[in-house]
Amino acid sequence: MYPSAERRFIKTNRITIIVLFLVIAAGGIVRSTGSGMGCPDWPKCFNRIVPPTDVSQLPAGYEQEYIDGRAKKNQRFAKIVAFFGYPTMADQIRNDQSILVHEEFNAAKTWTEYVNRLVGVAAGFCLLFSAIFSFTYRKTKPSIIGWSVLNVFVVVVQAWLGSIVVSTNLMPWIITVHMLLALVIVAISIYTFYLATTMRNKGILGGQGVGALKLLALLSLVITVVQVVYGTDVRETIDHLNDQGIVRSDWIAQLGQSYLVHRILAYTALGLAILLFFLVKNKFSSLTLQSKYAWIVLTLVGVQMLSGITLARFDVPAFAQTTHLVVASLFFGAQYYLMLLMTKLKR
């Protein structure tokens, strides 16, 4: 059905989506293990292509050198923030004393962060190859080229933002932007996959009378994104409580308003997912992609709720933190693709 060049793009695009979710999983492991500053510089790690495994391999005087380097980078970043109209935030970056605090070397954390970066590099190459292979659509579907090339630029911005995450010593709001931008990259890759697969196979689309379902899917997707924003805020609060030395069993009780909103949105997302599931099952055959992804969305929201309950009831175990993040991103991706599949067939 598909010419060989198009099959190559679709295959590469599919692999790219998988690798992007692996990047999010690796980032979740980095956060749950506290390995974000395992490498104090970027893109190298302790100025080495292969990071050290022992303190004896560290460069002499590296502590002050990297602190000075981060301070200079932060000054440049503060100018950018001020230029876009956030002078108070820029001053906060300029005067942040946490970047002057040296973190002791830990080989496990260093390699955890390093593997995270390697997976990120693999994702970058996948996106680059997707952009190159997308030119097969220059005559038939040029929008695929536009989105694929745009995604390469977005991932470059994401890589730069990753360096800012390191230089600002994991400043909370930058981590949130970093996470949201990761979802944007995933969404663009899913969209190009959707465009490529439906160009010659219109039969997988939703057909007539799916407008209301698509609006419901869009509403569910928006709530998920807002929930992610509140979830990252909750996570940042947990990091702050941990830095203060507050025991893990007291974290949930001190999370405040963001946690309450996050929980309300979680139950809302669950209700919408259940409603959408039954409406899709009523509208589509069990053999359709729409029905398949309705099952996937319902399963993922169930796993997501279970991981959230585990976090709340068992003192925020690290494995559940990573699971919660990864399943949230998979839930977002499945919802987004299901929404795209609701596109009405043109007569």
User: Per-residue pLDDT tens for 101-157?
Assistant: 777 888 899 999 899 989 999 999 999 999 999 999 999 999 999 999 999 999 999
253-291: per-residue pLDDT in tens?
A: 888 888 999 999 999 999 999 999 999 998 888 888 999
* Backbone φ and ψ of 45, nearest 5°: -125, 110
Q: Give the integer Cα–Cα distance in Å for 254 and 251.
A: 5
For residue 69, pLDDT over 80 is answered with no
Adjacent-strand bridge partners of 107: none
- In this prediction, residue 179 carries a pLDDT of 86
For the chain, give every domain's residue range: 1-200, 203-347
Show Cβ contacts of residue 9 under 8 Å, excluding neighbours closer than 6 positions: 130, 133, 134, 136, 137, 144, 196
* Backbone φ and ψ of 253, nearest 5°: -65, -20
Tokens of 26: 């690796």
Rg, C-alpha atoms of the chain: 22
Adjacent-strand bridge partners of 48: 45
- In this prediction, residue 253 carries a pLDDT of 85
Tokens of 246: 């507050």
**Nearest residue to 189 via CA among 344, 21, 53:** 21
CATH class held by domain 203-347: mainly alpha
For residue 347, pLDDT over 60 is answered with no
221-235: per-residue pLDDT in tens?
A: 999 999 988 988 888
* Backbone φ and ψ of 205, nearest 5°: -80, 175
The answer to whether the predicted template modeling score (pTM) of the entire model surpasses 0.85 is yes
